Amino acid sequence: MPTLKELDATVTLADQMDTTDSPIVLVNLFEVQPEDEKALRDAWPQDAALMQVQPGYISTQLHKGIAGSGTWMNHAIWQDVDSFRKAFTNPAFQSRLAA
């Protein structure tokens, strides 16, 4: 199971989602155990496809650390925080995260 890492100890992702900034670049890091990498690679295209049809979505890319690193980074661009917030809290996306 991926573990989300907060990039800013003083301003959490939840704090950032409570603003009205635009446009935004979301960068999130997470750790994936080697045995979970296949599941992530299988799930990512489905998760990305769900986000791509949400209002305000611009783009996303998934990056993996090299040399056996288990660190992954998602880089997503949204029109504004409100669009990202609605997409992130969408019940369909939340059920995908739970899985």
Question: What pLDDT, on a 0 to 100 scale, did the predictor assign at position 2?
Answer: 60
What percent of the chain is predicted at pLDDT more than 90? 30
User: What is the average pLDDT score of the chain?
Assistant: 85
Which phi and psi (to 5°) does residue 10 adopt?
-100, -20
Q: Tell whether the model's pLDDT for residue 13 goes beyond 90.
A: no
What's the start-to-end Cα distance of the chain, in Å?
Answer: 9
67: left (phi over 0), alpha (psi -120 to 50) or beta: left
pTM: 0.74
Domain 3-98 class in CATH:
alpha beta
Instruction: Please say whether the dihedral angle defined by the alpha carbons of residues 35, 93, 78 and 44, taken in this order, is positive or negative.
Output: positive
pLDDT tens-digit map of 22-57:
888 988 888 899 899 998 888 889 888 888 999 999
